[in-house]
Amino acid sequence: MNAHEIDYHIYGEEMQYVEIELDPQEAVIAEAGSFMMMDSDIKMDTIFGDGSNQDTGVLGKLFSAGKRLLTGESLFMTAFLNIGHGKKNVSFASPYPGKIIPIDLSEKGGKFICQKDAFLCAAKGVSVGIEFSRRLGRGFFGGEGFIMQKLEGDGMAFVHAGGTMAKKTLAPGEVLKVDTGCIVGFSQTVDYDIEFVGGIKNTVFGGEGLFFATLRGPGTVYVQSLPFSRLAGRVWAAAPKGGGKDKGEGSILGGLGNLLDGDNRF
């Protein structure tokens, strides 16, 4: 195997974290901000790119980091290496309520495609790049689903899904239609495209967006019930405006309180 062979255990229900067991000289890479805790004798190091091509010279490192920059991620990742003599553990936490999904890339043909913010951590040696679309429709209308990440290699990778996760196994030719933000990832055998919802009423009054993704089998698709963009939008819509002066949110008394305070917002 090219990637390090790691063992793991996932803990929790709504707010999960994954504990990874590292043998001596084994390492795991992770996105900045996902680290939770680690044993002693684990060395933490910031690396340029994903660490999968550290022997390819400066140009290889720049290309690896540049691919991450296009997805809006940091140029750097963090590597955790066991420099001790026994097994050591390091843990990474999910960023918001949901599920952590273990992906064995050796069972996915060496490649898995996921949303650009779904990746959590992976065994050292797994390549984290971008999956460019060759279809014009995805580019103009895909939104969050246009530039996706691809995880390549033969090791373990971990991605995060918001809310409840649904795993769908598609037969050859079977089609699943999904909101673009609800896609977590899918195997490389799945054909992915963007489709117009259609209909004047759906377009003007539907409130669900003008486009959705069509995923055609064969292959495995992971879908999340709570994309972070949807969660953030609901929180922003419900947040008090104007310095937090709202009183009694969700009731008529809230509006009366604002009126008495001289704030005529309802």
Residue 68 confidence class, pLDDT cut points 50, 70, 90: low
Q: In the structure encoding, which two tokens stand for residue 24, read together?
A: 């001596």
CB 221 within 8 A of CB 159: no
3 state SS of 130: strand
Q: Which pLDDT does position 91 carry in this prediction?
A: 97
pTM of the model: 0.78
List the domains of the chain with CATH numbers.
Answer: 7-240 (3.60.160.10)
Q: Which pLDDT does position 258 carry in this prediction?
A: 54
Q: What is the pLDDT of residues 137-185, one digit of tens each?
A: 544 444 444 578 889 999 999 999 999 999 999 999 999 999 888 899 9
Q: Which pLDDT does position 265 carry in this prediction?
A: 47
Higher pLDDT, 66 or 129: 129
Closest CA to 149 of 86, 202, 71, 207: 71
Residue 181 DSSP symbol:
G
46 C-beta neighbours (distance < 10 Å), count: 11
Q: Does residue 206 surpass a pLDDT of 80?
A: no
As a whole number of angstroms, the distance between CA 185 and CA 94 comes to 16
CB 100 within 8 A of CB 158: yes
Q: What is the pLDDT of residues 87-98, one digit of tens each?
A: 999 999 988 889
Specify the residue for token string 């067991």: 21
Compute the 3-state secondary structure of the chain and give helix, strand, coil in percent, each to the nearest 5.
20, 40, 40
Residue 57 confidence class, pLDDT cut points 50, 70, 90: low
Residue 237 confidence class, pLDDT cut points 50, 70, 90: confident
3 state SS of 59: helix
Q: Which pLDDT does position 242 carry in this prediction?
A: 63
To the nearest 10°, report the CA torsion of 77, 83, 84, 86. 60
Q: Which pLDDT does position 73 carry in this prediction?
A: 61
Q: Which pLDDT does position 196 carry in this prediction?
A: 72
Alpha-carbon 18 to chain mean position: 15
Q: Which pLDDT does position 145 carry in this prediction?
A: 43
Q: How many CA atoms lie within 13 A of 179 on its CB side?
A: 11
